[in-house]
Structure formats: structure tokens, C-alpha cells
Structure 1
Amino acid sequence: MTDFHKGSKSMGFYPLNCNQTAYQHRFEQMTEEERRCLEERKYWCFLLSSIITFCLSMLLVVTYRILNHLCCERKKSRRADVTEPDHREANGLFPTSPSNNTIEKTSLTAAVADAQSPPQQHQTEEAHVGWMTEAKDWAGELISGQSTTGRILVVLVFVLSIASLIIYFYDASNPHFQVETCIPLSQSPSQQIDLAFNIFFLVYFFIRFIAATDKVWFLLEVYSFVDYFTIPPSFVAIYLERNWLGLRFSRALRLMTLPDILQYLNIMKTSNAIRLAQLVSIFISVNLTGAGLIHLVSLRFVRALRLMSVPDILQYLNVLKTCRSIRLTQLLSIFLSVSLTGAGFIHLLENSGDPFQNFENPQRITYWECVYFLLVTMSTVGYGDIYCKTTLARLFMVFFILGGLAMFASYVPEIADLIGARQKYGGQYKSEHGKRHIVVCGYITFESVSHFLQDFLHEDREDVDVEVLFIHRVPPDLELEGLFKRHFTKVEFFQGTVMDSVDLTRVKVDEADACLVLANKYSPDPDAEDAANIMRVISIKNYSADIRVIVQLMQYHNKAYLLNIPSWDWRRGDDVICLAELKLGFIAQSCLAPGFSTMMANLFAMRSFKTLPNMPQWLNDYLRGAGMEMYTEKFSTSFYGMTFPEAADLLYTKLGLLLLAIETKDDEKRECNIAINPGPSVLITGHTQGFFIAQSADEVKRAFFYCKSCHADIKDVTLIKKCKCKNLALFRKEIKQIAMMSNSTRKVSMAVMRPTDRRMSEVRNRHREEGRARRADRYKRPRVRCDSLESTLDSETTDGSPTDADPKLYISDSATIETPTIKMGDMEHQEIKYDSTGMFHWCPPRPIEECVLDRNQAKMTVLNGHVVVCLFADKDSPLIGLRNFVMPLRASNFHYHELKHMVIVGDIEYLKREWRTLYNLPKISILQGSPLSRADLRAVNINNCDMCVILSARVPNPSEDPTLADKEAILASLNIKAMQFEDATSFYSFPQELVGLSPFGNTGMLLRPSVSLGTQVPMITELVNDSNVQFLDQDDDDDPDTELYLTQPFACGTAFAISVLDSLMSTTYFNDSALTLIRTLVTGGATPELELILAEGAGLRGDFSTEERLKNRDRCRVAQIPLVDSCFQAFQTGATYGQVLSQALKEYGMLCIGLYRLHDMAPSELNKRYVITNPPPDLKLLPTDYVYVLQPYDHGLKYPAKQAEQ
């Protein structure tokens, strides 16, 4: 600071600017009081306040860490001897995992936990969240850009920072500008406003400090230094009654937060916009800050700031574990040693003088001036303020520059690269007491992460107190980085790989609640993608055998390799989500019940139900169903002892909840078993957990809070809350009674099938002849079928093909037959019809040539009610696993005559590669042809098919536009819709001898609607790119940016994309039983036993139908029944959905789960329908409605096969 110029008497002059040489002629008069005040400069007080604030803050944090570390070490040593025996005892076959007791949507309430576990157990298992963690969570939510409050606060901080910068501009541009002035606070409005701003910044600083995970790194942040150099001086100015302009210009650095704020507000979404905003904000902020610094001090001192990089360099000298740190240390040591040695030579020569001049020409220069001279010279700047005067020193500099300049030019850029290449996403995760975290690895991109977080952090899950750590070897791009910033309170990214144990230590995998491995669904080489993910699982399990792993795989046959990992254990929660298995399973179930894929996809995905006043009625009904999700909850004691139908009816009529399935614990085997619509043979006990379909977790809690004493007369279900009438003694008494009752019931099969109770079976057999008139229990489940019986006239039922336990055809009736006992002596004469698990139909292997049809043979074959698969594939295309599509359609809970014939239209060379997994499955034909050929489509009678499935095995070209990945599927779909048919089959005759055998009355003629237009052909198309759904329906009004689940093709069940399976990762994490339930529904009964058999690579194996295996057929299946069917005839006019559901459950044991309704805004000739999941009870039914039901197995009634031939 240049001293003021002393004038005469009481008047003095001071320059307008620090740089006196440039502004010597511009001086303003100052008063004597100002002159005396400025005789002693106080700028060092302002600087000292900033430095002391930083040092004290750092000292407090470091001291706290040291004390905390010492206390924790003492506590750990004291607990070691106490906890070690208990740990060995608890580490058994069935360890407790926090996620296993987690409800899908939300955690169990404290009341639920208290009712289920003893108090002592909870004291040892629960991790209590301390007040510091709660304060940190509160602060994190407050400053995050996720909530509305967070966005407002972040924007307000930015606006006030800019306002403070504007005040600085005003003060610095004042004609009477002075760096230090003696104006008190009361006389300066700008100081008063800036002080108010700084008080707000001080509060915001403390909030950021509380929310920071690493307090030390927080204190070293750029914006923390901005606060150090701006907030304390404003308070010092009050005490000293003077103002120092100082470093207030550093507020300009806040401009760099502008891109983050624009991302919080969703104003910027593209990479180009984000990068442009970053560059502009950094450029402006750095220039403004540099201008302020130059404005404060001389430019020459700016060059001296190069020495400030010394602490940054020294911190790397102790990090010698990686190649980068070793190389950096080498470069620094060489550079510093050469520079300091050269400076020592110059210092010696210059201060000594030339010997040949008798040392009479020395130059008095310090050593550090020599260092400065050397660095300036080697940097080719050469100010000229210091130079060599002796001849020897000049001669030395000639040779030193030759080597030093080359060293400087090569070493300095490399050093800068190494220092600047410090991993931004390095470091180590610091877990907090009471908070769980999961590790997500594998295919980490903006698309995969956004889909995962959208479901994992959905608002319907309420408070998800789980941190998500992403680890990937490639740093995130700008879009992904912006996504992480928007969720920074719950999401953290680390650069590394799970194949390295060092990186696994950094993210603390051994302490994680689970590790999730994502797959690239669009990989051109699915097997290679699966191999990479399996290797990741091996590495994770090798590091920590107890960690729960959930992995995505593309191909079903690769699941077998996971079974080779010794520590892979499904009891621990390890699970695999096979995308091909589930995708093709969803599509296969849509062949049986069109639209079922849409219903299930919406159930396990988190959707928000929001309606608008101008929303069409069909869209309102669909969105209400799409907002339904699957939850799990324990039953209250009021349900103990009830059968499943009784409990389901009470839950629906009284509580408005749809009970889908139950889960029971087997204390003997320590296994959890799931039963879907199991019927009256299963009772609700204290170990039973229900699977519910509802809008929110709060609704499902009614099942736990319900009390028949307090809530029996309540009409408003929202009033059902926890009551106080239960006491502990009564609770224990009921638990004992139910436990005794449950011991007498049959254990639910681990194969996730509906069990058959022997006692109930004997009762049914005893009353078989008396029929429905002698039905004693209205909840007893009769074995009936309500779907169309036209499949009984399939030509394959009259050609000697097996139909059941003997060569006779079965027709549904209310009575059941006893499963014949198979003796060992009879097995050699028995025909093998099922696989070794009894879950699927089986036939001897057939060569593919026997199943191939040409076009003429296909025309001569009477195909009706079949499934046409249009498959786009080349001979080298990767296998998609067609077995996963065929097996659900060959489940053993269908009779043989009910199996739909399947015709595959595609490349024969590709199908030869798939045939090894298909040749044991019956009723499959192949047409060598093209799915785009109308002649081939007419040859397979596509107008008479029950479903046309369009699949593609071809790998999208990565160099092409992504929208072209579905070009063939879209063209095939539009091609079929443009076809016209004139020879459509109108009806089939039904034998009069069978009239009266069906419980549905006189069937007469089974009419089949005539299909004359291609738009009426039932169809489902698999898409790779979600946005391509807009091209399937040319008559809809969907916006191209509409989400997939909101489009008409998806709502109607005519389109399916693999992206809908992304939600399964978070669904499986929060409730591992949900994946088992979904897999059971869509695969037709895949079991762990079957997976072990298929893992051998020999495919399905047939075996004799023993009594135990035939019981495996007794399980539910998905069906779609028209309301005009005989079992629903009483409800065709004016009935509500609730009436149908209750009556179907009581009379037929069927559980209704939704409707398939005609689109009211579509032309009638299109026959377009949409899915309504779990409609409200008061919804009026239409005669054209179809009902989705979970239908029990139909044992059927025997009649002679010759009657069918007539």
C-alpha cells in the first residue's frame, strides 16, 4: 500500500489507486482526521482475522478427530471380548439382514418391529441413529437441490453472492476509492447491506459444515476460503470503525455455481449446455477475481504466488503406493534438486566475483533471489530485474539454460498433469453410525443410473435412509455428474473398479448392506457382458463372502456359473435378475392374458398416480392402476387362523386391500416359502407375511393395525390406526394357539407352488358325487375353469397325444379326481409326459427337420388359437433364449389339450442353434421364411392366432441412429396391421354330448370372432428403444417425449421394452421375496431345483409321473376371462368390480387382479383395450370387459376320448 502524500497543515492527499505511477496526477483532498487515521494501516488486522478463522476451524476439527479416534479405539478394545462369543453364535445358517425385513416401499414401523421381535433382540440388532447424524441429514436435505427448500436456499445464496459482488463493484468504482477507509459502519449503507449478507453467509456456512461428510476437506474448499476472506473482515470493520476493501472480490467465484443451479432447476439438461455454462462461468469468475487481485496489489507480486503450490506438492511426498505418486515424487525431487543446486552455484559465483579480476566485481544477492532468477529465466519470461554480472556466472547460465530449459519444458507440464490428474472421485467412503449404504457397479451410464435412482429414491418409498455409492473406472460425464449433484445427499461416486480389492476397501464393501451389479441391456455380445458381471461377483464375494449381491444377467444359461461360486447363497439374499428370462416370460404370459406384461411391469415399478381435470377417463383408470405397487406387510392377530380366501375377502371388503400371495417361514428348514392364491389349505399364522397391491405403504399398514374388536364397524378405512386394546398376554396366548394350529397344516412347498392339503382333498373326494349342492363351506375351492373350452377341439387332442394321467380328455367341473397312485411296477408301462420336476410338459427329443414346415405344408395345416412368433435373426445373431418364452406356455398346470400350438417364423439356421433347448417341449412348428412376408404370415393363419409376438435377436449397429434398432419390428407390426383377411374362420362346433358337463351351462357353439383386418390381430412387439413406441400406433396422439408407461401401446399391452425391468434391482433390494413372486408368475413355475438341472447343460429331463411330482401341477396360473363367460353371467348388467371379485373368490377360488377394457376413444373396429390394475370396488363393469384372474389348477372330469373325436 502506497503511503499517502503529506500535504501542508491539516490537509493531505491520497491517490485514487494503489498504482501510483499510473495515477500520479489524480489525487483527492483528505481531511486531517482521515490523514491521522490512515497514518497507521490496519489491513493486517483484516487479513489476520481471516487466517485465524481458518486455522482455528482446522484446529478444532483435527482435535476432535484425534480425540474421537482415541475414544473409539478404547471402546473397540473393551467390546472385543464381550461381542466375540455372541457374534460366533449369531453367525449361523440363516443370518439376519436388514434388507430382508425391509418392506417394498418403506420400512416397518417401530410398532411392527416391537411386535415381531423381543426387546433384547432389537437392542442388539438395531443401529440407533445419533443426533449428529440426524442433524447432518437435516442439513443435507436443506442445502440439496432435491427439495423445494434446498433449491430456494441454493438460488438465494447465489443471488446474494452476486449482490455482494455488485456492492464491491460499486465501492471499487467510486471516484473517492481507497483500499482502506476510516468510514464507520453507521455512515456507510453499502457496509450495512454487505454485513447483512455476510450474516446470512455465516449461517449458510454452518449449515454446509454440518452437512459435510469430511469436515477437513470442507474447510479446504474454494467457497470456504471465499467465506474466510469476506465474512470475518466485515465484523472486524465494526470494531475498528474502518473498512478495508480487501478480498471481497472473491465473491465472484460463486459464479462457478451457476451451472449447478441451472441443473437443479432443470433448466439445463444437455451436455453441451452444461459445458458451455461451465466454461462461461469459470471464465468470468476467474477474470473478475484476477482483476480484483491485481487491483489490490501490484502485478509483480502475482508472479510470486507460484510459491503457494509448494504445500500441494509436499502432500504427495508421503503417498508412494501408486505409480502416479512415485512418478510425481521423482519429477519433483529432480526438478527441485537441480534448481536449488543451480541457484547455489549462482549465489556462490555472484557473491564471490570473478577470480581473474581479483574478486573485485561481486554482486550482493541473496540465495532466494538466485532461485527466483533461475526460475524466471528457465520459464523464458526474464523480467530483467535481476541478472548475472560476473563472467563465470554468465558462463554457467549459458550451459545451465541448455539443460535446464529442456528440463523445465518437459518436467513442468508433466508435473502439472500429474498434480491436476489427482482423481476427483478418489478418496474413501466414510460411513456414519446408523446409516446403511449400498454399492452399485457394472454398467454405469446416465441412462442406467437415472432409471435406477428414479425408482430407488422414489417419493413413495418415503424415507429411504440408504446411501448409494457408484463405483466405475471411468469418471462420469457432465450429464451423469449433474445427476449426482442433484442427489448429492444420498449418492456418491468413486472412480475405481470392483476387480481391485483396494477400491473395494475404499467403498467399504464389507460394511455395505448390498452390492448391486448392473448390466448393459443393449450389449452386442450378451455372453461377454454376463461374463464380465460374473467376474465382478467373484471379485466381490472373494473380498467379502457375507456381502449380499444382486446381479443382472442377460442370458439364462449364464446363471449356472453363479452357482459355482462357493459363497453364493440365496438364503443370504443373493439373487440374479435374468433379463432374458423375465422379458420373454412377461411376453409369454401376455399370450395367455393379453396386457399382463403391462400390469406386472407397473406393479414392481414406482409410479405416481396424478390425475388432471381434462384427462380422458381411460387414461385416468389406467394411471390409477399404474400407480399401484406391490407391498409386503405382517398380518394383525385378528387374521390368525383364517384361510387365505377368508383373509383375502375380509381385506378387500373391509380394508380395501388386495392380497395376492403370502409368505411363510419354515422354522425347521429356516426357509421362507411363497404361496400365490393358495386356497383354504393354508392358514394365516404369526409367521405369515402378505403380498399386497395398493397405492401406498400407509394403506397396507391397515392389515397390521386391523383389530376386529375396534375396527369391525368402521366404514372409513382411513380411520384404521393402531389401537390400544391389545395387551401382551393376549398377544402371546394367540401366538401359542396359532403356532399349535400351524403345526397341523401342510408346509408350503419351497418350489413356490400352491400346496394340496390331504384332509381337504379327502373331503372333496367324499362329496364328489353330491356336487355343488352339498358344498358345506362356501370358501372351499372347487376346481373349475372359466376360460374358453374351444381348445378342447384342437386337432392334437384326437390324434393320440397324451392329455393327462391316461389317454382321456378332461373337462372342468366343480368336483375333482384323486391323483392316481403310481406303483413301481407300472412305471415301465407309463408314458413320460412331464419333466423331472413335474413343473413342465415334456416330450422325447425331436430332430428339427420333423418340426419344419414349408409354406404349402403350413397352408394345409389347420392352425387356430395358436401363437405366431415372428423372429428376426441371422445365423450369427446372439441367442435370446427362446426356451424362456416357450416354457411358461408349457407349464404343467395346463392340460395337454390346453397348450397353445406355437409356430415360429424365422431363419432356420438360427433356430438350429436354439433347438437344443426346445426339442423337449411339445407343440412347436417352424416355418422357414421372413416375418415381413405376407405370404408366410397368411400361411400360418395369423388372422386366427391367439397372439402374434414380434421378437428380434439382431444386434443394433452402434454406428447407426439408435431409433433404427427397432426398424424391423416396427415394419413387421405395421405390415400385419395393414393386411386384410377374407377367409377368416367364424366358429367351431362343440359336441352336444358334452353339454351339461361344464359348470358354466350350455356351451352350444363356441364362436370365434372373425378377424378381417390386421389391426384386429392380437399382437405384442418387443422394442429396444423406448421412444420407438410412437411408431407402432399411427392413430394415437402420444408425444414423442412421453414416458413409455404413459403411451397407448404400452397401456394396451401391445408393446414391451426391456427398460421396464430396470426397476427390479431396487425392488429386489428392498424385498427379495418380491423377485421370487414375480419370477413365479411369469415363468410358469421355475424352481431352484430346475435351475440346478438346467445348469448341467443337458436341458429338460423327462421322468415318470410319481404322485409327488403330479402334485406339483396343483398351482395357480394367470388367466383372462371375458365377463360374458358363464361364471360371470350374473354380473353382466350393473355389477361392480368388487362384487365380481368377492363372488369369484368365494365360488370358484379365483382371485381377480384387474380388468382389460375396451378403449372408449378408439374406433370399434380396432378392438383396442387397455389395462386397469386392481380397479376400485365401485367401478361399474361393462359387458365387453375381460377379467384378469389367478386361477387354481383344474383337475377336470374324465370323459371318453372318442366323444371328443365326434
Structure 2
Amino acid sequence: MITMTTVGYGDVTVGSDCGQMFTMFIIVLGFVLYMFSLPTLLEILLGTHQSSKFRQSYNNLIKQEGLVIVVGSITEKNVSCFLKELLHPDKQGRPTFSVILLHPSFPTPGLSSILKSHYTRVQYYQGSALNYNDLMRCGLSIAKSVIVLADSHCSNPIKEDNANLLRVASIKNALSSIPIILQLLMNDSKKLLKCLPGWVPGRDVPLCLFECKLKILAQTCITPGFSTLLCNLFFATGLTSSGMKLASSHNSIWRELYATGACNGICSVVLSVSFIGMRTAEVGRICYEELGLTLISVGKGEKIIHQGSIGYFIANHLVDIQVVHYYCFKCHSGRSRNLSPCSCHSPQGQDKTNETFSFIDESYTFNDDLCQITSPPTCPIQSPYFPPPTSLNDHIVVCVFASSDSMSISLMSLFGPLQQAGDTEHSIVVVSNPDYFEREWSGLEDTTHIYFVPGHPLDSATLSEAQIESCSVCILLTGVAVNEQDNCQEHGIEDNEVVLCALKLRHKLGEKVSIISDLAIDSSIHLLDGSSQSGWPPHLSDAFALGQAFLPSVFDSITTAILYNPDIMCLLESLLNLKPPQQDMSTSLPSLNQSNTKIIQISMQSADYRRFSGLQYKELYVHMTAEDLLCLGIYRQKHQGSYQRFMIAAPPHDVILFHDDVVLAVLLCSELESLLSAV
């Protein structure tokens, strides 16, 4: 009684009437609090507290617009970045979700702290995706989508993919109509998707992490600045007010310009019927001049607008592009503000915008080229030891930090686009473990201009043999850990070799050679910076702004973007597939169904564009639309005479062009032009 009421033994008493009234209130409150806590105390004493807490059935107490179930690799490292992207407040105008994490084991202390920070929208259920009752208990029948996460840090990617494929099969058996976003690691795992019952391409979207990463890096070698541009457009954690203060606190003009572009994102909308029959570039000019929006692409690179064509724009907020859906030349031409829908056009055919949340898009067909499977040849593996010639210049050095037991990550996804990029033959020198490269060689035997130097990338003699001093780009790739012991316990130490090699090369080569580090942990990027910026978000750090690192959290951003808008996968295919990789490049011809867009760079020092130096960016944008080019941004020197450059995505109209600027643009080609260019 004394413990429950917390008023003591009576040796000290209250004499006043107010004090006695207060003591009576404390006694009653003590009884109430004790009764509420008694069941929890009994559950803890009996060991059933966690079991009952995480075994309940779904009850949507907080009204959200949808439910998303997340299964697969649910770890503190995976979930923290994913939830930050999914639940970020910058997603204005997007649907709000309740999120359920389903995993067989109880949450770790670190994961529990993450759940507490998102307790209003995230719930953790203990159970298995292979159990029908557990799936139904999580609300599968009313869920909008299921996301299957993969662990890119696992020791056995094949085993990880097989487990995720089995989870997909179980979910489809429970409810075949549920849309699924599936993360895979290995390219060959995608072969099994056609065997899964209920898997529908377009409604169900696979994302091959290794292949997507390598293709982004390949495109960055061809058009420097592309990786920074693409990743910034997908990051939901755009520029906040605190981030803007950080950028401006250094009184650095280049950081402020970079931050201006970093706050943009990708939005899509069904184009107005007023644009039907027009050239895509002309629509881009109208949207830029009158609406202030930057058009990236239409569909999979459509050159002419059709009924229901989907346009992809660079914008600050979702509401900015909604006007494109109901734009009318008669009522809206010449007006840039306070536009409202008019009655000139029938609403038929205009009922699909990304304001309406839908996971099923019948007009979307998934292109296997993005995650194409490269089957190994049937002939025996020959020796892959081809030393580079003694006089290589402007070649690409690829350093893979892998051991003799590391699994292949299919480097063909990196080498294929490099060897098919226009008229330039890119010589590639690979530095890695010989046993590892022999496994990679099974998919590279038909390639040319690929040389191999056995050894460790941290060895100076090995790097000299690869002629690192005369290369144009050096890519430092993180290999797959052989076993769990290779994943160091200290957070961020996973990138020790990559970071040390990057710092060593930068000290040796300076800024002349572009060094791109493939990081396993986002926070490691601050080790690449020359100054202390621990308070900065990773995508606002100098190393990322200058294109010196690839952040793994971009896959969480892409997965979240696909959840909100499945059509984003179509844009990825359009931007990353310059030409589909061929199994036999000597005899195979490209398909007419391939992407009809190409990312190119245009120098302001070229004869055709030299006259735009000193003019405003909007004048260049309008001029380039006449040549079927859509400008994406400016790749500008950090300071006069510097080798380092930063990317300004969708610059303001009044930005002045410099004579040494480089512009990234999307070249729109017809299907026949794409075929002739490839041949």
C-alpha cells in the first residue's frame, strides 16, 4: 500500500487543508498508475512481453492513405536510411503511409530506437513472410504494396536473393494481386522471376542493385557529373533550411549554386492533351519558358507526344508540375502564375496524374534491359591475364577490392556501356585479385580493350603497372565480403580500403584524375572531404558534390520513388540504357525497343555554342530545344583553372554561362536514329 500510494509511512504529515487534498489526489493517482503498469510488469516477469507486443494484428489507429509492408533484410543499417527516405517531410503532396516491418526475430536495441522515433507511422511485427497467417495478420489484404529489401552488405548475395525470391512466392500465393517492389543483388537472380506465380511485369518491379550501380558509374565515366545529378534528383532529403544555412555559412558561391540544384527532385505527370502531336523538345521549351519547369524525358524517350504520354520533370515540389496536366494554349498561354483547370478539353484521357496514388499502371511495361542477364559462355574459361600496353592514355582504371573467394558482381554491366558509348573506344584496366577476376571473366570474354593487372589496389607497384598517372577516371569498387567477420563491427570501417586508396591516389595524383569511390556506408564520405563537415548531410558534402563518391542510400531513394510512382522505373531505363548490352557484341544488333535517349555533354568552348558564353542559361536552353536537346544542368569548375567540377541541376534562368562550362543534356532520337547510331 505504501509503495503504490507513494505517500510515506506517516512520520511526516501535511497539516494544511490544501496539502491534505493534494495528498489524497496523489494516493488515487498512485493506485491508477500501478493498475495500468501491473499487466506489463507481469508480462515482463513471465517473459511474454515482447511476444505479445509484436504478435498483435494490424489496427490502423492513425488514419493514413495506405499501408506498406516491408519484409526481407530488416536491419538497423537497412531500415534507418529507408525509413528516412520514405517518411521524409519533403514529400509534400504525396500519400502518407502506415508502415509494417515484418521479421522473424525481435528488434535489436538499435532498431528499437529507430522504431520509437517513427512510432506514429511504423510498427514492428514478429513473424515470417513465408507464413500465411503472419501475412494476413499484418494486413496484407488491405496493403497498397509490399517492399522486399536486400542486404547489400551480406556475405552470400545468391543466398540473399534466393530468400527474397522465396518471400515473393509466398506473398503472391497469399495474395496474387498485391504489387511488389523487389530488391535483388545478383543479375542471374532475375531469371527466376518468370517462374514465380502471380509476378506481373510493370505492376511488380525488380531493382537489381549491383547492375544499377555499375550502369550509373559507367554513365558517369562517359558524362562526368551524371551520378551526382541523378542521385540528387532521387534523394527525398532535399535541401532543408538548415542545409541552406550550412551552404551559405562558408560564403562559397559554388556551394550555394550546387545547393540550389540539390533541392530539386523528379516528378512525373500525364501531359495535357494540348501537347498531343508536338515534339518533345518543343513541349520542353514551353514548360521551361512559361511554367519554369525542366523536362527530362517523356516515356522511354518519345520524340512525339501521344495520348497519355508521361513527362518527367525536375521540380522543387509535386504541386509545381500539376499545371502541366491541364495546360491549355488558349487559356494559359502567356500566363505563368495562378493557373487553374479550364473547360476547353474533355477530362477523358487526363485522369492519370501522380497526384492520384496508384501502383498499377497498365501503360507501363518493364524493360528487362536495365537488369539484363548476361549468361556465361559455354566455352571453357581462358586465362584473363592481359597486361596493358606500355603507352595508355585517358584510359579507365577499375580497382575492385575483392578477395579470392568473393562472388562476382557482373562487371559486364560496367564495361558494356563504356564500350558501346559512341565512337570512342574506352580502354579499361582492371586491378584486382586474379582468382576473383577469373570468375568475372566468364562474362567478359567477348569484350575488347580490357586489360588486367593482378594485385591489390593499395600496392603502389600494381597501380604503376596500371598506368594510373595517365588515366582519365579511376573507379574504386567495393567487393562482396567473404564472410560475416569481414564486416567490421565499428560503424563506417567497412570502407577502410576504399577510403585509404582514394586518399592515397588523391595525394599522389592531385585533382587531375577523377577518382570515384563506391562506398558501403554513407557516413564514410566525410572521410574523403578535406575539411570537417560532420554536420552536413552526405549529399551536401564536398566529396559528393564534386562527384568523388557513390552513396548506397540512393537505392533506398529509388525504391521509395518507385513506391510513390512506378513510372519512375521507365525513366531509369531511359537514362541508363544507352544501348542494351549484347551477349555477342560482334554479331548482335540493337533492338528497336531500346531507349531513345542519350546523355551527352556540350562544351561552351565548342564552335556552335561559344557565343552563349556570358549569356543567361535560359537563352541556351531555348536554343537547344530546337536541336531536340533537353538541358539537365551545368557542370562547372569549382574555381577558375580547377580540375574539379560540380553539378548544378536545373539552374535558375538568370545564371550566367562561363566559357569553360559544360552542359549535360538529353539527346532525343527516333527509333531508326538509335538503330543507325548503334550500328
Question: What's the counterpart of residue 355 of structure 2?
Answer: none
Aligned to 1:520: 151
**Counterpart in the other structure of 1:594:** 224
TM-score for the superposition, normalised by structure 1 = 0.50
One of 150, 167, 174 as aligned partner of 1:543: 174
Q: Distance in 2 between matches of 1:455 and 1:841?
A: 32
Residue 858 of structure 1: aligned partner: 389
Question: Equivalent residue of 1:710, what SS?
Answer: helix
Residues 1122 and 845 of structure 1, relative CA distance in 2, 3 Å threshold: farther
Indicate if the aligned counterparts of 2:64 and 2:96 stay in contact, CA closer than 8 A.
Answer: no
Q: Note the 1:326-725 alignment, pairs <5 A.
A: 417=46, 419-420=48-49, 422-431=51-60, 435-462=65-92, 464-571=95-202, 573-609=203-239, 610=241, 611-612=244-245, 614-615=249-250, 616-662=252-298, 674-676=299-301, 678-679=302-303, 682-685=304-307, 687-714=308-335, 717=336, 719-723=337-341, 725=342
Distance 1:850 1:485, change over 3 A: closer
Is the aligned partner of 1:1075 residue 2:569? yes
Q: CA deviation at 1:618?
A: 1.6
Aligned to 1:249: 30
The aligned counterpart of 2:356 is none
Shift in alpha-carbon separation, 1:248–1:1104, aligned structure 2, 3 A: closer
Call closer, same or farther: CA 1:1016–1:848 in 2, change over 3 Å: farther
For 1:614, give the aligned amino acid. S
- Give, in whole Å, the separation in 2 of the partners of 1:653 and 1:312: 66
Preserved CA contact (<8 Å) 2:71 2:147: yes
* Residues 730-749 of structure 1 aligned to structure 2 (within 5 Å): 730-731=345-346
1:1140 corresponds to which letter in structure 2? L
Q: Determine the C-alpha separation between the residues in 1 that align with 2:533 and 2:207.
A: 31
Q: Do 2:399 and 2:432's aligned partners in 1 also have CA atoms closer than 8 Å? A: yes
Task: Give the C-alpha shift of residue 423 in structure 1.
Answer: 2.3
Shift of 1:464: 2.7
**Residue 1154 of structure 1: CA displacement?**
1.0
Note closer, same or farther for the CA distance 1:1110–1:586 as it changes in structure 2 (3 Å cut).
Answer: closer
Matches within 5 A, 1:813-824: none
Matched, 1:904 2:430: yes
Instruction: Name the amino acid aligned to 2:343.
Output: K
Q: Kindly provide the amino acid, as one letter, of the partner of residue 447 in structure 1.
A: K
- Highest relative contact order (Cα 8 Å, sep 6+), 1 or 2? 2
**Shift in Å, 1:954:** 4.9
- Asked if structure 1 preserves the Cα contact closer than 8 Å seen for 2:265 and 2:315, the reply is yes
Contact 1:579 1:1058 in 2 (8 A): no
Within the candidate set 661, 664, 668, 1:1185 is matched to 661
Which residue does the alignment assign to 1:741?
Answer: none
Of the three residues 168, 176, 192, the one matched with 2:15 is 176
Could you report, residue by residue, the CA deviation over 1:788-827 in whole angstroms, capped at 9, with x for unpaired residues? xxxxxxxxxxxxxxxxxxxxxxxxxxxxxxxxxxxxxxxx
After TM superposition, list the pairs within 5 Å mapping 1:1146-1161 onto structure 2: 1146=626, 1148-1160=627-639
| Structure-2 change in CA distance of 1:926 and 1:418 (3 Å) | closer
Does structure 2 retain, via aligned residues, the 8 Å contact 1:858–1:939?
Answer: no
**3-state DSSP of counterpart to 1:247:** helix
User: Is 1022-1031 or 561-570 further displaced after alignment?
Assistant: 1022-1031
- Offset of residue 906 of structure 1: 2.0
CA 1:189/1:655 → structure 2, altered by over 3 Å: closer, same or farther?
Answer: farther
Tell me if the contact between 2:218 and 2:418 (Cα under 8 Å) persists in the aligned partners.
yes
Alpha-carbon offset, residue 431 of structure 1: 4.8
- Residue 1060 of structure 1: how far off its partner (Å): 2.3
Shift of 1:652: 0.6
Matches within 5 A, 1:212-227: none
Query: 2:130 touches 2:167 (CA, 8 Å); kept in 1?
Result: yes
Aligned partner letter, 1:1024 = A
Aligned to 2:647: 1171
CA deviation vs aligned residue, 1:1034-1090 (integer Å, no higher than 9, x gap): xx323235332121111111111322221122111111120232244224355xxx8
Give SS of 1:864's match.
Answer: coil
SS at match of 2:90: helix
- What is the CA deviation profile of residues 502-530 of structure 1, one whole-angstrom value per residue up to 9, with x for unaligned ones? 21121121321111111112112212211
Alignment check: 8 A CA contact 1:634 1:688 kept? yes
3-state secondary structure, aligned to 2:647: strand
Normalising by structure 2, we get a TM-score of: 0.85
C-alpha change, 1:1103 and 1:563, in structure 2 (3 Å) is farther
Q: Does 1:1141 align with 2:624?
A: no
Q: Which runs of 5+ in 1 are unaligned?
A: 2-17, 19-164, 178-182, 195-229, 231-242, 257-285, 287-307, 314-413, 663-673, 736-747, 754-834, 980-1012, 1091-1098, 1199-1206
- Could you give the per-residue CA deviations for residues 123-157 of structure 1, whole angstroms, max 9, x where no partner exists? xxxxxxxxxxxxxxxxxxxxxxxxxxxxxxxxxxx
- 1:930 is aligned to 456
Q: Could you say which residue in structure 1 is the equivalent of 2:353?
A: none
Deviation, structure 1 residue 949 = 0.9
Residue 555 of structure 2 corresponds to residue 1022 of structure 1: no
1:904–1:420 Cα change, 3 Å:
closer
1:885-904 alpha-carbon deviations (Å, 9 max, x no partner)? 1122234xx44x42312121
Q: Determine if contact 1:1113/1:1193 at 8 Å carries over to the other structure.
A: no
User: What amino acid maps onto 1:915 in structure 2?
Assistant: W
Decide whether aligned partners of structure 1 residues 900 and 506 sit closer, same or farther in structure 2, where only a CA change above 3 A counts. same
C-alpha contact 1:440 1:516 (8 A) present in aligned 2: yes
**Quick check: 1:874–1:907 contact (8 Å CA) kept in 2?**
yes
Question: Which SS does the other structure have where 1:1016 is aligned?
Answer: coil
Query: Structure 1 residue aligned with 2:528, among 1016, 1029, 1032?
Result: 1032
Q: Which has the higher helix share?
A: 1
Q: Equivalences for 1:197-236 in 2 at 5 Å?
A: none
Q: Matched residues in 2 for 1:704 and 1:1100: separation?
A: 41
Query: How far does the alpha carbon of each residue in 1:425-482 deviate from its partner, in whole angstroms, 9 at most, with x for none?
Result: 1111135898421111112223322212211122222353321111112222344333
Given the superposition, is the C-alpha separation of residues 569 and 905 from structure 1 closer, same or farther in structure 2, using an over 3 Å criterion? same
Deviations 1:170-191 (A, max 9, x none): x9954438xxxxx7xxxx4985
Q: 8 Å contact 1:579–1:1061 — kept in the other structure? A: yes
Instruction: State how 1:694-843 maps to structure 2 within 5 Å.
Output: 694-714=315-335, 717=336, 719-723=337-341, 725-726=342-343, 730-731=345-346
Contact kept, 8 Å, 2:201 with 2:365, in 1: the verdict is no
Work out which of the two has the higher radius of gyration on C-alpha atoms and give 1 or 2.
Answer: 1
Q: Structure 1 residues 604, 1105: closer, same or farther in 2, change over 3 A?
A: same
Amino acid at match of 2:28: L
Paired residue secondary structure (1:459): coil
| Structure 2 unmatched runs, 5+ | 351-362
Q: Distance in 2 between matches of 1:888 and 1:603?
A: 22
Q: Paired residue for 2:606, among 1107, 1125, 1128?
A: 1125
Contact 2:300 2:595 in 1 (8 A): no
Asked if the contact 2:201–2:366 (Cα under 8 Å) also holds between the matched residues in 1, the reply is no
CA contact (8 A) 1:1116 1:1193 kept: yes
Cα 1:1018–1:958 shift into 2, 3 Å? closer
1:656 maps to a residue whose letter is G
Aligned length: 647
Whole-angstrom distance in 2 between the partners of 1:312 and 1:627: 48
Distance 2:599 2:400 in 1: 25
Distance in 2 between residues matched to 1:932 and 1:650, nearest whole Å: 52
1:127 aligns with: none
- Provide the rounded CA distance (Å) in 2 between the counterparts of 1:566 and 1:647: 41
Aligned-pair identity (%): 27
Query: Relative to structure 1, is the Cα distance of residues 750 and 428 closer, same or farther in structure 2, using a 3 angstrom cutoff?
Result: closer
In angstroms, what is the RMSD of aligned CA positions? 3.8
Change over 3 Å in CA distance of 1:971–1:451 after alignment to 2: closer
- Other structure's SS at 2:447 match: coil
